[in-house]
Structure 1
């Protein structure tokens, strides 16, 4: 898909400078990657939270397996 975008941009460019700028924009890292933010704030889990979530899911799974509703 990037190759198709690059080819379309190459054809639309009027000179070598514009082609170089287009290529730089196309292959530039995301803007938030420069600041080191790869996740949205507040979305990361620590080990304890992940284990608590897994335990909750296991409880719900066992309740569904028994046919319980609560």
Structure 2
């Protein structure tokens, strides 16, 4: 193993750690927003503010499908 391999290995490892830490920071930054949204959903569900969903058994019947 020569110095070129050592340097490239170190650069690759530090680059991977940097990307991992950046992604982890983004995910952890969104956790409070997710918790607030879950609380809002739970309160709406408990209070009965959830709108009824009209489920269509054939979702392609409204012209949204491909023409044949």
**TM-score, normalised to structure 2's length?**
0.37
Greater RCO, CA 8 A, separation 6+: 1
- Determine which structure has the larger helix proportion and give its number: 2
